[in-house]
Structure formats: structure tokens, C-alpha cells
Structure 1
């Protein structure tokens, strides 16, 4: 695994996990910039790819000052979460805020601004209650 990459396992299919994450983001008022179904894109090119979805999301109020401070952070911001099927196990991955901050030589307080990704993904992998 690349340095600074955090991976977690979530219950459900890629589609189910993607929908849960979208709901979590919408409930928290987090902007969803794009949801890219990479498997569908592969199919449109006549290729096959395991279920793979990339979600690009963030909070412009948190990310804009960081990009103002260091324009190249726009390569890492907004935040991205990859959700994919790994032989029947749904995994998700993202780069840690510390890695992003270190990559762009940002001041320590930027880690705090980006750290919201941890509780968002923790909520995604938390056991689901049956109602």
C-alpha cells in the first residue's frame, strides 16, 4: 500500500456503501462534487472492471483557504474516497490528512481542517443497525 493510504472495510456492496456515504455527506452538509462510477466507464469502453466508485467531496469553506495557501493542494482537494469490490469484500481508501499536509508542506492546522474525513468514513464502516 502507498504511504499514507488508509483503507477500511465496509459492509454491503459497492453500490450500497456508496449510497450510505452519499447520505452521510448530505446529512452533514458536505458538498459532493462528483461520483464517478469507474466500472461503468470501463463498460462504456468495452472493458471490464470490478465495481469501483470514486467520490469527490469536501467543504469549500475548509478547502479554499488551504488551496489559497498552497495552490498545488488542488491536486489533492477536494477529498477523494475510493470504494471498490475486492473479491466480495467492499473496501474504501483515502489519503490521510497528514499525508496531504506533508505532501504540500502545509502548516499543522491544515490537518485539523481535513481531518473530518476520519469520522465520515468511520460512520460508513460502523455496524449497521437493523430496523
Structure 2
């Protein structure tokens, strides 16, 4: 597994399998952990509805309301970053998962790290799906 963090606080990891397979594995993992999936957006399929082409790209929006509520209570604008999101996308034949790091969200909203500790689960969840 290769992990990169960009200047903008986006973590990107490589995963084995197609975008559809990795998205299905990630959804299954969230389900087994009892984590709420708020939406799955197939952005490539949406592009096709307007006769446009986009590489395979799926956005999964998920979270734990107990963890996210405390963050948004402390900083209402954190609701722009929550629920958590993972973008699963094709990068010239390599499937990638990208998301904002919990530290980026903490820094962006000037939050106490203890308040955002629950957000770190995204690292463990994405590690689990990229190590398959």
C-alpha cells in the first residue's frame, strides 16, 4: 500500500481491484462496523447522464453521528467537512482512495484534537480496505 499526503491535507492510498470492487469492499466494511453510509455517488455514472465521460469515480459519504456531532457542536462550519468522505477513483489503471486527513479537519476548524479523535477511524478503515 502506498500512502501520500498532499500539501492540501488529502491522504491518497492505493488499493487492489477496480473502483467498483474497492467501493463494494469499503461499503461492506462500513456495514460490518455499524457505520452509517449517508450516500454513495457514482460520479462517472452521473457524467454519463449528460453524455460526458469521467474516469471511474465513486464518492462514499459516511460517519458516526456520535463522533461528528461533537465536532460540529464545537465548530458548526465543520459540517462542510462532515460527514466523512472517501473518493475512490481510477488513476490510469490504479485504484486510489482519497480523503481529508483528520488533522486537516482539526486544523481547518481550530478544534481541540480530543474533540476530533473519533475522526481518525478513517485511517484505520481505509487501511483495512487497501490491505485486501
Q: TM-score range by the shorter chain?
A: over 0.9
1:66 aligns with 2:71: yes
Instruction: Give matches, 1:1-131, under 5 Å.
Output: 1-126=6-131, 128=132
Distance 1:66 1:9 in 2: 28
Distance 1:84 1:2 in 2: 19
- Where does structure 1 differ by over 2 angstroms across 4 or more consecutive aligned residues? none
Please, which moves more after superposition, 111-120 or 54-63? 111-120
Ranges in structure 1 where 5+ consecutive residues have no aligned partner: none
Ranges in structure 2 where 5+ consecutive residues have no aligned partner: 1-5
Give the drift of 1:2: 4.1
Give the drift of 1:89: 0.3
Give the drift of 1:110: 2.6
Q: Is the 8 A contact 2:70 2:115 kept in 1?
A: no
* Count of matched residue positions in the alignment of Structure 1 and Structure 2: 127
**Secondary structure, in 3 states, of the residue corresponding to 1:55?**
strand
**Secondary structure, in 3 states, of the residue corresponding to 2:97?**
strand
TM-score, normalised via structure 2 length: 0.93
Distance 2:101 2:72 in 1: 17
TM-score, normalised via structure 1 length: 0.94
Distance 1:11 1:110 in 2: 33
